Amino acid sequence: MRRAVLKEYDQFGEDLSNHCTRFAYRLMNLCVKAEEVALLPIEVMVEGELQKLEDCASLAKKDEYTFMVVPKFDEDMPAICMGVTLEHPEFKQDFDTFTIASVDETGESIEQEVRYLLLKMPAVDNDRYKVLKDGVEALYQECKGEMDFVNKKYEASIAALSVGESEPELKRLNKAVDKTIDQWEGHRDKLYKEKLQEIEDAHNMWMADRVEETLDHIEEKDAHNEEAGLTMRINPEDFN
């Protein structure tokens, strides 16, 4: 097989891979779960200079839907909150503290409260559920169109470059091209289905919370009515 054909085939696979990577990145920025990649674009103005969030804070996950952001210097907290708001206004911001053990200037053990920022992903309510699903579908169709174009482009260029190759070599090449297409289209479709399921799970969780709130309200109302009924009953002792 000529070097030019192999080089074109390698570039073909790389282009499909790049489209899938871009698709995955864009899906992760449709924030349902707490995806670290969503924090990468956040910049914070510290002492007149823009810094990446990871350069001025420690980042961790509290759970699947919540980030913990611990500033390296507490006085940077307002700037961090502003940076998050500018990039992700949909994130719910809250504060909490944890205690660490340290020593003072005299070597005595002391406990210190450290404040940190909680970033919670917005709930997937009915409105956001539709927006997210429409967004995923639009990104999928865009990626599919781009990859279909790449497939046709490289199938033509590889075919032109492989003119004169032996029949066994051509069969092996065509099989490799088909395998590459199947591999990356399968990966793209897997990303698509996983994101839809992620949205579905988060929406079901939101609906379950609404049901629980409704049941709690009904129980509270029933308890209140029962108490009110007891106070209205006639006590025979009142007539003694």
Task: Write the CATH number for 154.
Answer: 1.10.132.20
pTM: 0.79
Shared domain check, 100 and 62:
yes
Task: Note the pLDDT of residue 239.
Answer: 41
Confidence of residue 97 (pLDDT cuts 50, 70, 90): very high
Alpha-carbon distance of 34 to 15, in angstroms, equals 28
Task: Note the pLDDT of residue 110.
Answer: 80
Shared domain check, 217 and 146:
yes
Shared domain check, 47 and 11:
no
Domain boundary among 120, 147, 179: 120
Mean pLDDT of the 181-202 span: 97
Burial class of 119 by CB neighbour count within 10 A (0 to 12, 13 to 18, 19+): buried
What residue spans of the chain are helical by DSSP H?
A: 3-28, 53-56, 77-87, 126-161, 167-232
Domain assignment of residue 229, yes or no: no
Shared domain check, 188 and 135:
yes
> 145: which 2 tokens?
């169109």
Task: Please enumerate in sequence order all residues whose Cβ is within 8 A of that of 76, keeping only pairs 6 or more positions apart, or say none.
Answer: 44, 46, 56, 57
Domain boundary among 120, 144, 169: 120
Domain assignment of residue 230, yes or no: no
Task: Note the pLDDT of residue 77.
Answer: 96
Shared domain check, 211 and 140:
yes
Inform me whether the pLDDT recorded for 18 exceeds 50: yes
Domain assignment of residue 232, yes or no: no
Shared domain check, 134 and 212:
yes
CA atoms within 13 A on the CB side of 95: 9
Q: Which domain holds residue 196?
A: 3-29+126-224
Alpha-carbon distance of 61 to 83, in angstroms, equals 19
Shared domain check, 148 and 62:
no
Shared domain check, 85 and 64:
yes
Shared domain check, 81 and 165:
no
Shared domain check, 130 and 116:
no
Mean pLDDT of the 114-128 span: 95
Domain assignment of residue 238, yes or no: no
Domain assignment of residue 236, yes or no: no
Mean pLDDT of the 168-178 span: 92
Q: Residues 41-86: pLDDT tens digits?
A: 999 999 999 999 999 999 999 999 999 999 999 999 999 999 999 9
**Total of domains in the chain:** 2
CATH of the domain at 107: 3.30.1360.40
Shared domain check, 51 and 16:
no
Shared domain check, 141 and 25:
yes
Domain assignment of residue 233, yes or no: no
